[in-house]
Amino acid sequence: NLTQRMARVVKTLRGEARLTEANMQDMLREVRLALLEADVALPVVRDFIAKIRDKALGEEVVGSLTPGQALVAVVQRELTALMGGDYDGQAAPLNLSVSPPAIILMAGLQGAGKTTTVGKLARLLRETQKKKVLTVSCDVYRPAAIAQLKTVTEQVGAEFFPSTPDQTPLDIARGAVDWAKRHFHDVLIVDTAGRLGIDEAMMQEITALNQALRPAETLFVVDAMLGQDAINTAKAFNEALPLTGVVLTKLDGDSRGGAALSVRHVTGKPIKFVGVGEKLDGLEVFHPDRMASRILGMGDILALVEDAQRGVDMKAAQKLADKVKKGGDFDLNDFGAQLGQMKKMGGLSTLLDKLPAQFQQAAGNADMSGAEKQLRRMEGIIQSMTPTERAKPDLIKASRKRRIAAGAGVQVQDVNRMLAQFEQMRGMMKKLKGGNLGKMMRGMRG
Ligand code: GDP
Ligand code: MG
């Protein structure tokens, strides 16, 4: 998986002082793959990689960073900057400072999440800014759409301006503006009809609404699950309308969020909010840095690499290497010490915490807790042995196995399995000459 690939490349780049074409090449390929896996549109990926190559080339690898980590930092920084635009890596705010009512016009394909987002926005503006919000539906093609907006508006305690399918969208909108003015609403959110695909009539209708209403915000709502296809939809809406921002919906799904980068790239408009659920509290301001991590699929990959380094006790590794070099036998004390190392590396579930969510899920399916339980069980078995047994494992025959199993609260077959694993490790140690062992230990640091 990607985390493993990244970790490998980070490792191979260790110990160089400057980013060069040569030492960046593998890493850039991984970044490219990560972006494609995240469903970023191909032309966008090409542009981005070219930009990264330029920016990173010649960059000094400072402090204790490896070139791989330095490049990851550049990628993360540029991706964040690209999506954060002029907002210095922060979420772009809604601009509602006009004479009231501030009008927010929603645009986007059918099913993008416009109506739901109207409800979510109304809730957010009421709760965080104490705004008096009115909503209206210009979706005259589906009576159910008007009823849907009425329902969500009432759920969040905002006011709903009724409309009927026999009115024109322009008449409805004008009526709502007039009502909002007379009743001192701060904000009017205008929901519109979408189509399943880009369609001339829909574009003309929303363009006319935009010209008549002169909204403070014209928000393009787009489904993150569209992936690469988001780029064409975004292009069409951006050409037809003076968009002021984007709402990326359905990020609670398993999309990696590549649409965020594509949409930002073709529209140049800031992503202001993300939809993270069907419920009306499922709207969050957009965080460019979090989205960058999600797209790269890195989670805390750097912390993971560093923890693994810190965890392996080099002294213990060296002691073992010296012992084997001098012809000493690898015994159960050494094996136990190695299990301890594994636990020091954070334990499997701590390591798991640091992985990106999608890998946590995959690892969860592979039953990591089972692996951890087994690690603890093996340690328990070793603790139930006498010092002599640990130093001379060949003494351990049937009756001793029964006693050890009883002491550790496991079955005899668990003892056998543990001893088989030990034998396997001992075999490996025998094959390794001391020099190789040291190398292997260093390799384990990750
Ligand atoms: P519209 O046609 O653009 O008005 O889209 P709707 O608001 O009717 O939403 C279409 C479907 O997407 C509905 O089933 C919504 O519940 C769902 N939906 C909207 N936003 C989100 C979101 O952020 N997460 C999830 N999981 N579903 C969403
Ligand atoms: Mg709708």
- Percent of the chain exceeding pLDDT 90 equals 47
pLDDT in tens, 218-276: 999 999 998 888 999 999 999 999 999 999 999 998 787 899 999 999 999 999 999 99
- pLDDT: which is higher, 324 or 387: 387
Q: Which atom of ligand 1 is nearest to the CA of 148?
A: 8
pLDDT of residue 300: 41
Q: Are 261 and 35 in contact (CB under 8 A)?
A: yes
Query: Distance, CA 320 to ligand 1 centroid (Å)?
Result: 59
Query: Distance, CA 116 to ligand 1 centroid (Å)?
Result: 6
Going by the DSSP 8-state scheme, the letter that residue 105 receives in this structure is E
State the amino acid at position 236 in one-letter form: A
Residue 165 is encoded by which pair of tokens?
């399918």
What is the C-alpha separation between 275 and 264, in angstroms, rounded? 16
The count of C-alpha atoms lying within 13 angstroms of the C-alpha of 192, restricted to the half-sphere facing its C-beta, is 27
Q: Are 112 and 221 in contact (CB under 8 A)?
A: yes
Q: Are 109 and 196 in contact (CB under 8 A)?
A: yes
Q: Are 308 and 446 in contact (CB under 8 A)?
A: yes
What is the C-alpha separation between 74 and 72, in angstroms, rounded? 5
Ligand nearest to the CA of 143: 2
What is the C-alpha separation between 140 and 218, in angstroms, rounded? 20
pLDDT confidence band for 96 (50 / 70 / 90): very high
State the amino acid at position 260 in one-letter form: A
Region 301-444: CATH code: 1.10.260.30
pLDDT of residue 163: 96
The CATH architecture one would assign to domain 102-284 is: 3-Layer(aba) Sandwich (3.40)
> Looking at ligand 1, which residue's alpha carbon is closest to its atom 16?
278
Sequence-distant (6+) residues with CB within 8 A of 380 are 408, 409, 410
pLDDT of residue 215: 98
- pLDDT: which is higher, 367 or 384: 384
pLDDT in tens, 103-148: 999 999 999 999 999 999 999 999 999 999 999 999 999 889 999 9
- With a threshold of 0.85, tell me whether the complex ipTM lies above it: yes
Domain assignments of the chain as residue spans, ordered by start:
2-87, 102-284, 301-444
pLDDT of residue 219: 98
- pLDDT: which is higher, 65 or 160: 160
- Cβ < 6 A, ligand 1 pocket: 108, 110-116, 194, 249-250, 252-253, 275-278, 282
Residue 230 is encoded by which pair of tokens?
């988001």
3-state secondary structure of 230: helix
Ligand 1 pocket check: which of 223, 278, 280 to mutate, most ligand atoms within 8 Å of Cβ? 278
State the amino acid at position 58 in one-letter form: G
Closest CA to 174 of 161, 158, 187, 155: 161
What is the C-alpha separation between 210 and 205, in angstroms, rounded? 9
> Looking at ligand 1, which residue's alpha carbon is closest to its atom 15?
278
Going by the DSSP 8-state scheme, the letter that residue 329 receives in this structure is -
Residue 88 is encoded by which pair of tokens?
């210095």
Q: Are 332 and 390 in contact (CB under 8 A)?
A: yes
What is the C-alpha separation between 173 and 139, in angstroms, rounded? 11
> Looking at ligand 1, which residue's alpha carbon is closest to its atom 28?
278
341 to 11, 348, 378, 433: CA distances (angstroms): 20, 12, 13, 21
pLDDT confidence band for 6 (50 / 70 / 90): low
pLDDT of residue 70: 76
Task: Given CATH 1.10.468.10, say whether it is the number of domain 2-87.
Answer: no
pLDDT in tens, 286-315: 988 888 888 887 644 444 434 444 444 455
Taking residue 411's Cβ as centre, other Cβ atoms within 10 Å add up to 12
Residue 37 has pLDDT above 60, yes or no: yes
